[in-house]
Amino acid sequence: MALSVVIMAAGKGTRMRSARPKVLHTLGGRPLLGHVVATAEALAPARSILVTGHGAEAVEAAFAGNTRVFVRQMPQLGTGHAVQQAVPALPDDGITLVLNGDVPLIRAATLRALVEACGGTRLALLTVDLANPFGYGRIVRAPAAGDADGIGAVQAIVEEKDATPIQRQITEIYTGILAAPTKQLKAWLARLTNQNAQGEYYLTDVIAMAVKEKIAVQPLIAPRISEVLGVNDPAQLAELEAVWRARCARELLLAGVTLADPARLDVRGSVTHGTDVFIDVNVVLEGKVVLGDRVRVGAGCVIRNSEIGADTEVFQYCVIDGALIGPGCNVGPFARFRPAATLGSGVHIGNFVEVKNSQLGAGSKANHLAYLGDARLGERVNIGAGTIVANYDGANKHTTVIEDDVHTGSNSVLVAPITVGAGATIGAGSTVTRAVPAGKLTVARARQATVEGWRRPVKNKK
């Protein structure tokens, strides 16, 4: 049976106190709506319909996709009104799953169970029991005596502002997520009214319609409260961020990764790893990260969209962005890798070394205070402390080629474009602007002179 997904993402999110649409605020490095879309699409729906409104252009630009349809809710007149905008894009049969774009931690397994509970003939609701249900729609059930399981059949959902004092004592709430036969849902939506305290069209009113038509209402209690918590303000976003961190850390631990402190790891993307990986505290992993067998990551590192080979150790406080680091390397501390940095096996990159769009062959070293930009290094190259590859002429970038077994002395400057031949040695303090011959010592220094009678400038007294 074909599945359609409707995701409500039109709200302004006033309590976020931000010009950015609420659903574009990030959790775990991904927009809130991105989590919901990815989870929904794991169900392989026939179509995904996103209802946009506030900041519609930005939201639609961020989530354009081949199987996604956008409809706009302008103005925003309630949840029922939001789903009404999707009706023209819905087929006449199948199942429709309705989700909220600001409930990011819902799991695909829970949604599958809800769709199965619907089965194309029932109205399935995802509910949860909260100690403090303030602000949520309450699940109103019939007296339990007539129900086989003693719980009582669902009769209606009553919103907070419309609930009586007795109804407000109910702790079972509606999560905003439901699955319904599409044909019946479209008919119910057509009959919604705004006769309530807020003057809005409530999606929850379809429950009473289903009961009246003797269509079974099947509640499904969410397995975890965290799955159905929404984001209304920055404080709630921070709370869910903590839940996300704990979830990611637990998954890594169960997969065999050793974490020095699970509470101090941020995963903002996907992590693929080998065996016996160790990650120290305050590490941030962003985008797509691949860690080989026995990789060790030191405290305070940020690794983004990078792959690190087996037996490599990344020491403390490195920033690695878009890099491919081979096996058996030593990196850092305090090293920076910018996009397209590639290290062969056994490369050493030390403290305060920056590598950008450069390749280093096996066994090469840059252990201190160096910059390698747009450079192609062979094997066993030794970059001396303070060496700079000057790749930018103020308008264009140029390439430097450093062949195998080259040594550069401390504080040397290689002005690109230039080639340094295999086995060459560049003397300390040299500024090299022409090709360096292989196997020879090249020294390029200005003549030293002492200026007699020179005095250091003195600050003027105030």
β-bridge pairing 172-181 and 95-100: antiparallel
pLDDT of 149 > 80? The answer is no
Which residues touch 152 (CB under 8 Å, ≥6 apart)?
Answer: 141, 142, 143, 144, 146
CATH number assigned to the domain with residue range 3-228, chosen from the 4 options 3.40.47.10, 3.40.250.10, 3.90.550.10, 3.40.50.2000: 3.90.550.10
* CATH 2.160.10.10 segments of the chain: 234-442
Residue 249 exposed, middle or buried by CB count within 10 Å (0-12, 13-18, 19+): buried
Q: 279 with 286: CB under 8 angstroms? A: no
pLDDT of 447 reads 83
* Pair of tokens at residue 387: 């060496």
Q: What's the confidence (pLDDT) of residue 449?
A: 82
Instruction: Output 142 or 439, whichever has higher pLDDT.
Output: 439
For residue 240, name the pLDDT band (cuts at 50, 70, 90).
very high
pLDDT band at 376 (very low <50, low <70, confident <90, very high): very high
Q: What is the pLDDT of residue 151?
A: 61
Q: Rounded to whole angstroms, how far apart are CA atoms 200 and 65?
A: 31
pLDDT band at residue 144 using 50, 70 and 90 as cut-offs: low
The pTM of this model reads 0.87
Rounded mean pLDDT, 75-87:
95
Q: Would you say residue 150 has pLDDT above 70?
A: no
Q: What is the DSSP string of 25-42?
A: SEETTEEHHHHHHHHHHT
d(CA 81, CA 89): 14
Catalytic residue among 54, 81, 273, 368: 368
Residue 148 above 70 pLDDT?
no
The pLDDT score that the predictor gives to residue 66 is 67
pLDDT of 197 above 50:
yes
What band does 143 get if pLDDT is binned at 50, 70 and 90?
Answer: confident
Q: Tell me the C-alpha distance between 126 and 97, whole Å.
A: 11
Annotation: CATH topology of 234-442: UDP N-Acetylglucosamine Acyltransferase; domain 1 (2.160.10)
Query: Which residue reads 């829970």 in tokens?
Result: 110
CA 185, 189, 190, 191 torsion: positive or negative? positive
Kindly state the average pLDDT of the residues 32-54: 95
Cite the residue boundaries of each domain of the chain with CATH code 3.90.550.10.
3-228
Q: Is residue 368 among the annotated active site residues?
A: yes
Beta strands in 274-347 (DSSP E): 278-279, 283-291, 296-297, 302-304, 307-308, 313-314, 319-321, 324-325, 330-331, 336-337, 342-343
- Percent of the chain at pLDDT exceeding 90: 85
Judged against a pLDDT cut of 60, whether residue 310 lies above it is answered with yes
Q: Stretch 173-191: mean pLDDT, rounded?
A: 95
Q: What percent of the chain has pLDDT over 70?
A: 98
d(CA 344, CA 325): 7
Average pLDDT, integer, range 338-364:
98
Is it the case that residue 147 has pLDDT exceeding 70? no
Mean pLDDT of the residues in the chain: 94
Helix axes 182-190, 205-212, angle to 10 degrees: 110
